Structure 1
Amino acid sequence: MDPEYFQSYNMCWGTLGTVRPFPNFHPDRDVMEIQAALEKKDAVTLVRILTNRTNAQRQVIADTYEEITQKDLAVGLKKALSGELENLLLELLMPPLQYEAYRLQKAMAGLGTDEETLMEILRTQSGEKLREISAVYKQLFKNDLEKDLKGETSGDFAKLVVALLNKEDVAGGVQRDIQSLSATLNGKKAEAGPWIDILTSRDSDHLNKVLDRLELEKGQVDQALEEKFSGDIRLGLKVLVQCIKNPEVYLAKRLVNVKTPILQGIMVPHAEEDLLNIRAAYLKLTGTSLYTALQKQYKGDHLQALLAICRSED
């Protein structure tokens, strides 16, 4: 790992991310190294540079590379690399909004829809960010995100994802919301409408109060949802509740025994935000650090890239 990385702790004291702004950043110097590494297919150098820069710094590198070489850096990476390492470094090069739009599209592509990834992104992004992601999605894929979501989902789950996409915080009384949700659990089959309306239109502090007091009355909300709902809407509401109560624990659970796209889909966007919290939740959940778990599952240059994003043992 580049020793200058450790100096960046002084620049970003208190951050919950693992990737910090690289000190003494010289994009021209990085581009020269990258250009030589691409010619030699030197994955070690490419990993060292691209995992030790923030996304903003990577955008500067990509722009500088294009100015100097008249070529696209992403195209160069595709020619020099392959497999999982190629995918990871290309993901690191994407601006954050583009990356989330790409993840949403990928979750809907092919034969089956990855409902949980849709829920993860739609719940963990703010309403403002989702509007920006929708605009980028339309630009990239020439389709309307809301229409695509409706086309790939159905029933109450479709209503839930659309409500999340268009969410705006609406004031509500805690007691009134508790009564509305509690009433839906009294019959044999619960009505999804009040859950969708409330869980997608209140801020997290409000919802935590509602869920805490509802659990005092009805027991574990997760268990109630399991018993009263079925299919995609059950999954969707359970993900919502888990994300509201503790998003880091929910994301740590997703990292356990998952496929590479889901792992990278969490590590890449959270590396500069709260990956330290997710790492701590993972350790508490599994008894093993994420750093150690990665070494058991991956190998080679791809492993080194993932470890560089993770950064260290806990």
Structure 2
Amino acid sequence: MPHHRYATQNCVPTVLEYKGFDPNSDAAALEAAMCGQGTNEDAIIDILAHRTVSQRLKIAEVYKELYDTDLVGRLKKDLTGHMENVTVAMMTPISQLYAVELRKAVSGLLTDEESLVEVLMSLSNFGVIDVATEYENMYGRSLEHDLKNDSSGEFRNLLVRLCSASRDESDVVNEEIVRDDALALAAAEVFWPQGLHGENLSCSSNRPAAGASEWATEESVFASVLASRSFAHLRLMFRVFRSVTGRDIEAVIDQHFSGKLRKGFLSIVRIVRKRPAYFARRLYESMKGLGTDDHTLIRIVVSRSEIDLGDIKQEYLAQYGQTLEKWIEGDTLGHYRRMLLALVSY
């Protein structure tokens, strides 16, 4: 499925359709790059990094006709390490790529909760249904079933809500419902240090601390609102919440939730507020400190390159004072680095 079906309006991609596209010529050039002794990785980069995924798939189709060989299989044979991983990701339709990423997130020894929320929240209702269908086709099991089996408690309920493809996507916002939601979240939060700015709610500053059974109810309130309301509704609701409580929604979540649920709620809020800023943060976290989370780096660069990687680059510079290209140069090596840089550059 084309990447644009996953994009919102006014997004800035870094990979566009290659003008004068000739899949026969590209297929022949790739064959020349891989035949004989050694592999010409630079030629592979120059072709694949400057084609959209639909164009790459057309090249693969022609390559099969010309050489009776699967192009992805041939690339995997000739490439290694992170260069192989990023190239295979680039040759994968986005719905399948996300399905693969979700499977990896739930099938390892440790569940990658942040990647689960990242992928599910980056999709429209259409995208969720599309990816869930691909997931079942590829693995013979439902995405919802695997999410339920690999998680527990309220975080499991949050994931099930996110994969239900039932989020309101209307641009029309009902301010009365927005206020009701803000007050419901305020009422669910039980440890206000400064009260609720005069609001007559059951969760006044002298309300006793919640027990375990109460927390389940309050977690459910946050999960229900964050997973079902439209982005426009939530953005306004965050502002109303602050005016009612005197506190930012992220600060409240950070203080009063923990573990995977805290990470999940924070990811949702940050994606809703400004999706490119969220992905800029995820890219920064994948490269900061010792070592690189190449899996996350590859997923975001490849999956967002035809959607909004240009916007993400601007946010990266604004947040961290250096370009995304500069960070990639300093954190990766060889042809893998060159492929990433080609995808990130306009």
Q: TM-score, normalised by structure 1?
A: 0.92
**Does 2:200 align with 1:179?**
no
Equivalent residue, structure 2, for 1:156:
154
Contact 1:47 1:305 survives alignment (8 Å): yes
Equivalent residue, structure 1, for 2:281:
253
Q: SS of 2:185's equivalent?
A: helix
The aligned length equals: 299
Contact 2:238 2:248 survives alignment (8 Å): no
Report the aligned-residue RMSD: 1.4
Amino acid aligned to 1:181:
L
Amino acid aligned to 1:291:
E
Residue pairs, 1:124-273, within 5 angstroms: 124-170=122-168, 173-186=177-190, 188-189=209-210, 190=215, 191-218=218-245, 219-258=247-286, 259-273=293-307
Equivalent residue, structure 2, for 1:39:
35
Amino acid aligned to 2:55:
Q
Of structures 1 and 2, the one with the larger relative CO (CA 8 A, separation 6+) is 2
The whole-number CA distance in structure 2 between the counterparts of 1:149 and 1:207 is: 25
Residue pairs, 1:54-69, within 5 angstroms: 54-69=52-67
Aligned-pair distance for 1:257?
3.7
Contact 1:167 1:200 survives alignment (8 Å): no
The whole-number CA distance in structure 1 between the counterparts of 2:12 and 2:85 is: 25
The whole-number CA distance in structure 2 between the counterparts of 1:44 and 1:294 is: 18
4+ residue runs over 6 A deviation: none
Match for 2:12 among 16, 29, 34? 16
Q: SS of 2:228's equivalent?
A: coil
Q: Deviations over 1:138-194 (max 9, x none)?
A: 111122111111111110000001100003234861111111111101353551111
Residue ranges of structure 1 left out of the alignment (5+ in a row): 1-13
Q: Select the structure that is richer in helix.
A: 1
CA distance 1:215–1:15, shift in 2 (3 Å) = closer
Aligned-pair distance for 1:287?
0.5
Contact 1:225 1:234 survives alignment (8 Å): yes
Equivalent residue, structure 2, for 1:10:
none
Contact 1:39 1:80 survives alignment (8 Å): no
Amino acid aligned to 1:79:
K
Amino acid aligned to 2:233:
H
The whole-number CA distance in structure 2 between the counterparts of 1:169 and 1:80 is: 43
Aligned-pair distance for 1:215?
1.5
Contact 2:13 2:309 survives alignment (8 Å): yes
Contact 1:291 1:310 survives alignment (8 Å): yes
Q: Deviations over 1:117-137 (max 9, x none)?
A: 000011110112111101101
Aligned-pair distance for 1:217?
2.1
